[in-house]
Amino acid sequence: MPRPAVLVACAAAVTVLLVGGGVVALGGEDEPAEPEGSTSAAPFETTPLSAYDTSGVAVTRGPFCDRIDERQVTAALGGDTADSSSWQNGDTIDVGGGVEDVAHEFGCRYVAADGTVAQAWVFAPPVDAATAQQMVTTAGKAASCRVGTGPAFGAPTLALTCLAKDGSTRASYRGLFGDAWLVCEVDQPSGVTTDAADRAGRWCVGVLEATRTPAP
């Protein structure tokens, strides 16, 4: 995890069995009409980042994970969550390689059975534009990473796709919203052919919905 110095469609099929004189009729003209006023639940659909206006969005620098729609997590992972964790400002966490450090951010991480990871975090301390730009520049120079020309995610913003030696792909968006530095990413294992950048963008929309400050 970088440091500060960084869904299912439901289909309902109703079969009516009309039994008369030993004959079973399936469907057909005798099938009763759906009761007036009844509605079918619309399937959940994620929103691509390109279709979400992030301009003027204010993000709160605080806990947000319990506000993320679980369907967004399922969509980002491509399945159910097998493991999850969250952290808050001041928590001691594993920053990789068994090294522990104190977090200066609020975040959460979700893992699927196939190894796909979706995570997001927002820095606890405020970040100014100059510092944000420096972080964008530094992250953009990472080896085996490609800077994308994706939709804006804050200002400044960075869309990054990185290919690891094991064949896994990590796609992320990071950007400044007011004084809040927000990062969201999806890491998919080797063999997964889903467009990682699009998958991450849709996940980021779900994260923004959970982190954005409500209008007064």
The structural domains of the chain, with segments of one domain joined by +, span 49-211
Q: Is 114 helix (H, G, I), strand (E, B) or coil?
A: coil
Can you tell me the distance from the alpha carbon of 192 to that of 137, in angstroms, rounded to the nearest whole number? Answer: 29
Arithmetic mean of pLDDT, 87-94: 83
Residue 64 has pLDDT above 90, yes or no: yes
Backbone φ and ψ for 138, nearest 5 degrees, come out as -65, -45
Can you tell me the distance from the alpha carbon of 27 to that of 162, in angstroms, rounded to the nearest whole number? Answer: 52
Question: What pLDDT score does 28 carry?
Answer: 43
**Range ranked top by mean pLDDT from 27-36, 48-57, 86-95, 179-188:** 179-188
Q: What's CA 164's distance to the chain center, in Å? A: 20
| Architecture per CATH, 49-211 | 3-Layer(aba) Sandwich (3.40)
Arithmetic mean of pLDDT, 194-206: 95
> Which tens digits make up the pLDDT trace of 18-46?
333 333 333 444 445 555 554 567 888 99
Query: What is the model's pTM?
Result: 0.78
